[in-house]
Chains A and B, each alone.
Chain A
């Protein structure tokens, strides 16, 4: 069965960095596009970034462009989100989600999320 497990969240001060990981299992990781989606406490879902199945294309929400970097290691079945220059408004639960397909599309599987708290 498909499983996505996020890790790496925690409490950090504004301006600091954090790297999130998402380990995938139960499917051929290198065949699917992957996204990061976040959800601030009590708020709705916000798309963060997408990476194509082979890492050839990456796109970001304007709110994180230039600060966050999405990457993947298909040999390790792992998706990453490097978050630099963190802001208070980046506080959220971060989910990785699998795309049905090799690039972008709808999300057929989601992880349980990892919580990032940015506070001084």
Chain B
């Protein structure tokens, strides 16, 4: 099974800061990676797929990059509405494994 390792587990930043979350796959997954945002009490929301393609309606301050085994999610200017937990997910195989999650807080 493909393992996904996400870091950091918690991130505290100020409004307007640039924020970066990293996700590492245990084997090559090409560009088959998605990022989700989850707010308390809600189901996850798709932000990015194919490592760097922004889902329709998602603010352009979100961006993704990477391929192979190393991936990043960047928020260019953190906003109060971005307070949430973020997950990466590989879909190179039918068993869709997730990273452990990164909780983003406002400093």
Q: Which residues of A contact B (CB under 8 A)?
A: 35, 37, 44-47, 50, 57, 59, 61-62, 95, 97, 100, 103-113
Contacts of B42 in A (CB 8 A): 112
- Interface class of chain B by DSSP: loop
Q: Give 30 A-B contacts (CB < 8 Å), ordered by A residue.
A: A35-B96, A44-B99, A44-B100, A44-B101, A45-B38, A45-B87, A47-B95, A50-B95, A50-B96, A57-B94, A59-B95, A61-B95, A62-B1, A100-B49, A104-B93, A104-B94, A104-B96, A105-B91, A106-B49, A106-B89, A106-B91, A107-B36, A107-B96, A108-B49, A108-B55, A109-B46, A110-B44, A110-B45, A112-B42, A113-B43
The interface size of chain B toward A, counting residues with CB under 8 Å, comes to 24
Across the interface, name the chain A residue whose C-beta is closest to B45.
A110
Q: How far is the CA of A44 from the CA of B38 in the complex (A)?
A: 10
Q: How far is the CA of A14 from the CA of B8 in the complex (A)?
A: 35
